[in-house]
Structure formats: structure tokens, C-alpha cells
Amino acid sequence: MKVLVIGGDGYCGWATALYLSNQGHEVGILDSLVRRHWDNELGVQTLTPIAPIGQRLQRWKDLTGKSIDLFVGDITNYEFLHKTLRKFEPQAIVHFGEQRSAPFSMVDREHAVLTQVNNVVGTLNLLYAMRQDFPDCHLVKLGTMGEYGTPNIDIEEGYITIEHNGRKDTLPYPKQPGSFYHLSKVHDSHNIHFACKIWGLRATDLNQGIVYGVLTDETGMDEMLINRLDYDGIFGTALNRFCIQAAIGHPLTVYGKGGQTRGFLDIRDTVRCIEIAISNPAAPGEFRVFNQFTELFSIGDLAMMVKKAGNSMGLNVEVDHLANPRVELEEHYFNAKNTKLLDLGLEPHLLSDSLLDSLLNFAVKYQQRVDKQEILPKVSWK
Ligand code: NAD
Ligand code: USQ
């Protein structure tokens, strides 16, 4: 299949592009490289030294004989996007190309506006470009579990059947996101749902949980193919951050009580979920929603697991409970469904001691690259 991976220079996108290429798909990457620019602006770097995109792709070709087309540009630029789609003629589009950090979106008005314009306008352009020239193409869009927030009832996959005053309907599940970033995903979901309804487009919204890990079969083939691994207070996410903190002897930064519970998945499952979604396309007019995570953990429990794994490697790991910079529930009910991808054949890589060991060892290997000033959170929601 011809698959265009938007955001293919990023953490999930790079691993996915190589995986799909290795599976025999014809892959193109579209990326504005803006994430590398934001890192430079913030003065932070990924733990791992990532090569320039051209060099990455050349090495992939040298190693495997497979080429990946590259289109450098911004999907908020409609002319560029439209031209790229016409040139590549995708059968499926996997859309990772957004500003994805909640703290980044909460820095100030400019960052909130940047996040929502980048994400909502980019996705809206994509919907119009698909309607114009590729109405049969399948859009696989990365959403987030954070669209739902933390309601006091079970979280379904996208829709909930409700009885109200004697009548019954299946409706989009209520959304209570916790940052201007997470809100941008809700706005995207509404726009995509509407476009499917009025134009008959086909789309799958993957409400992904927090991704952890760094190695996939493909990115581990060669140092030049290494994936990014963020640890800073803006782009670093919970489990990856904790492993890197443990490796350098920094106390683990649990915000508040640590009872915040989220869905998590290994990056090796991210790439497989995308393959499952593109191999089983949504029907014309269908807006399908899958919850893409494999396990639920509280942040406090994760910190204890990293502490235990670190201790058994001889690392001295402390856990700190910092004042929470976010506005969120720190103790709550959380029970989300995730059966749709499992029913389509996902075989999860569950979090194990060996994965934690390998992530900790990875972090120890690159610990010299860590800037300790960038670990504590600096962005407050209030
Ligand atoms: P990332 O920042 O590593 O990668 C995103 C890529 O998109 C970057 O390479 C960036 O340059 C590109 N991009 C951003 N805006 C663009 C634009 N307007 N035009 C073209 N390219 C653009 O992020 P990631 O961690 O790989 O996340 C990818 C997607 O998955 C995001 O949509 C994110 O919301 C979602 N997601 C990520 C996680 C996670 O834990 N990392 C969890 C759930 C959902
Ligand atoms: N947290 C800590 N300590 C830290 C970092 C985070 O306690 O050092 C807490 C946060 O307060 C929050 C939870 O851990 O309660 C998750 O935070 P995170 O930074 O790991 O993840 P989040 O901000 O939710 O965003 C990440 C990705 C985003 C994706 C989302 C999936 O950056 O792109 O959409 O995970 S989800 O969380 O399911 O919405």
C-alpha cells in the first residue's frame, strides 16, 4: 500500500515509517521538521543523537534497499500539502504531524494559539485536500486518550450509548481534556467526524495513550536510525522521563499524589497498531475510533516500578512528589476500554522488567547528553 506518514521525522512517526517500509509498503514521509526547530528554541535536545532526516533515509536505503520519499513542508500550507498528495498519491495517510506537548501548549497565549492553529488547521487542510483529490484514501489520525479526561464512569471507544428520558442513542463519548493541546485533538476529532459525515471520507481516530520505549526492530538496526527520546520537562513523557531520571541519579518527578492513571503502550505496539488500522480501513463515511493503549498505570506505581528496576541494576533511585504544575485530578476512577485493536490482532508487548532494564541501560549509555537544568517542570497551568 502507498502510505504517507505525516510527522514521519518524529518519535512515533519515524518508527512507524521504517516499520511500514520494512513490511513492504511504499512509504513517503511528510514533515516540516518544526519539532527540531522547537527543540532548538527551547534549548533542549533528545537524549539520543538523531541524525538529519536525509542521512537517516539514506542509511535506511543502504541497509535495506528500500527507499522512502521525503516531502519537507508544513501541512498548514495548503498549496504544499495539495501538491504533495498529488505527487505521492497515497492510499492511506497516517497523521502524526502535530504539536503534541501539553506543557508546550500551556506556556502562554502564543503557545496555545500556535498549538491549536498548527494542529486544527493542518488537519482541516488535510480533510479538504482528501475531499478534493483522494476521497477514497483512508485517514489514520493520531488522537489521544486525554481527549476523554478522567470521568467517573468507564471510558468507551469513541462512542457511548445513552438512555435519556426514555429515548436511546449512541453518541460521541463526552470530552473533558486537560490542556490546550489535548483540546486541539478534540477539535480535530469533531472536524474529522463532520467531514466523514458530509463528504463520505473514511477515517480512524486512534486515541493513543502515553508511548514508552525507544527501540523497534528497524530503529535498532543502526545508530544512524536511532529514534528520539525526550526527557525534558516540556516534551518528555512520564515513563521515559522516569527511566532517564533514574539513570542520572535525579529523583523521579511525580507530580502531586501520583494517583493520576493513564493508558500506556510500548512504541513497538504503536507501529503495529498503525499497520492494523491501515490494513482494516474504515468504511466510506465512517469515523471509527480505537483506544490505542495496552495497560493502565498510575504515575506513582510507575515510579515505584522504575525505582525497583533501577535498584536491581545498582542505581540509587529516589521518588519525589513535587507540587503539581498541572490542574488535574490526582486520585480518580479510570477504566478505559481497549478491545478493538486487540480484536483485530494486536499482541501487546506488556511492560516488563526486561523492557525497563533495556530503557534504563539506554539512558545510562547516553547520560552524558542530559542537561539536568531541563528536568524539572517549568510550565504551570495556573
Ligand atoms: P513528535 O513531536 O516527536 O513528532 C511530530 C512530528 O510532526 C515532528 O517531526 C514535527 O516536525 C511534525 N509536525 C508538527 N507539525 C507539523 C506540521 N504542521 N506540518 C508538518 N509536520 C509537522 O511527536 P510524537 O511523540 O511522535 O507524536 C506523534 C503524534 O502522536 C502526535 O499527534 C501526538 O499527539 C500523538 N501521540 C503521541 C503520544 C506520545 O506519547 N508520544 C501519545 C499519544 C498520542
Ligand atoms: N507526570 C508526572 N511527572 C512527570 C511527567 C508527568 O507526574 O515528570 C504526570 C502528569 O501530571 C500527568 C501524567 O503524568 O498526570 C502524564 O503526563 P505526560 O507528560 O507523560 O503525558 P501527557 O501530558 O498526557 O501527554 C503525552 C503526550 C501527548 C499524548 C498523551 C497521551 O505528550 O502527545 O497525547 O501523552 S494521554 O496522556 O493518554 O492523553
Distance 350 CA to ligand 2 centre (A): 19
Residues with CB under 6 A from ligand 1: 7, 9-13, 31-35, 74-76, 96-100, 118, 122, 142, 144, 208, 210-211, 228, 237
Fill in the DSSP letter of residue 155: B
The C-alpha cell that represents 297 in the structure block: 498505570
Q: Give the mean model confidence (pLDDT) for residues 325-344.
A: 98
Confidence class for position 89, pLDDT limits 50, 70, 90 = very high
Residue 100 phi, psi (nearest 5) = -115, 10
In short, whether 206's Cβ falls inside 6 Å of ligand 2 is no
For position 374, what pLDDT does the model report?
97
Atom of ligand 2 nearest to the CA of 100: 33
The C-alpha cell that represents 96 in the structure block: 502524526
Q: Give the mean model confidence (pLDDT) for residues 344-366.
A: 95
Distance 238 CA to ligand 2 centre (A): 6
Closest alpha carbon to 299 in 276, 280, 321, 318: 321
In short, whether 239's Cβ falls inside 6 Å of ligand 2 is no
In short, whether 328's Cβ falls inside 6 Å of ligand 2 is yes
Candidate list 148, 181, 212, 255, residue with the active-site label = 181
Fill in the DSSP letter of residue 223: G
Q: Could you tell me the CA-to-CA distances from 96 to 125, 283, 324 in Å, in that order? A: 14, 21, 28
For position 150, what pLDDT does the model report?
98
pTM for this model (two decimals): 0.98
Of all protein residues, the one whose alpha carbon is nearest to atom 5 of ligand 2 is 238
Q: Give the mean model confidence (pLDDT) for residues 344-367.
A: 95
Is 2 catalytic? The answer is: no
Other C-beta atoms lying within 10 Å of the C-beta of residue 95: 26
Atom of ligand 2 nearest to the CA of 252: 8
- Using CB atoms within 10 A of its CB, is residue 295 exposed (0-12), middle (13-18) or buried (19+)? middle
Distance 116 CA to ligand 1 centre (A): 13
In short, whether 303's Cβ falls inside 6 Å of ligand 2 is no
Is 144 catalytic? The answer is: yes
Residue 186 phi, psi (nearest 5) = -65, -45
Whether the Cβ atoms of residue 257 and residue 330 lie closer than 8 Å to each other: yes
Closest alpha carbon to 99 in 40, 176, 181: 181
For residues 4 and 28, what is the distance between their CA atoms, to the nearest angstrom? Answer: 5
Atom of ligand 1 nearest to the CA of 237: 40
Distance 108 CA to ligand 1 centre (A): 20
Distance 184 CA to ligand 1 centre (A): 13
Other C-beta atoms lying within 10 Å of the C-beta of residue 321: 16
Q: Which domains does the chain have, with CATH numbers?
A: 2-374 (3.40.50.720)
For residues 216 and 221, what is the distance between their CA atoms, to the nearest angstrom? Answer: 9
Distance 97 CA to ligand 1 centre (A): 5
Distance 159 CA to ligand 1 centre (A): 25
Whether the Cβ atoms of residue 60 and residue 14 lie closer than 8 Å to each other: no
Convert the pLDDT of each residue in 6-60 to its tens digit.
999 999 999 999 999 999 999 999 999 999 999 999 999 999 999 999 999 999 9
In short, whether 146's Cβ falls inside 6 Å of ligand 2 is yes
Convert the pLDDT of each residue in 138-166 to its tens digit.
999 999 999 999 999 999 999 999 999 99
Other C-beta atoms lying within 10 Å of the C-beta of residue 255: 18
Convert the pLDDT of each residue in 237-288 to its tens digit.
999 999 999 999 999 999 999 999 999 999 999 999 999 999 999 999 999 9
Whether the Cβ atoms of residue 309 and residue 242 lie closer than 8 Å to each other: no
In short, whether 102's Cβ falls inside 6 Å of ligand 2 is yes
Pocket test for ligand 2, best of 208, 232, 242, 262 (most atoms within 8 A of CB): 262
For residues 380 and 230, what is the distance between their CA atoms, to the nearest angstrom? Answer: 19
Pocket test for ligand 1, best of 31, 78, 228 (most atoms within 8 A of CB): 31
Convert the pLDDT of each residue in 192-218 to its tens digit.
999 999 999 999 999 999 999 999 999
Ligand nearest to the CA of 229: 1
| % the chain with pLDDT above 90 | 100
For residues 288 and 189, what is the distance between their CA atoms, to the nearest angstrom? Answer: 10
For position 156, what pLDDT does the model report?
98
Of all protein residues, the one whose alpha carbon is nearest to atom 42 of ligand 1 is 210
Q: Which helix (H) or strand (E) holds 206?
A: strand 202-208
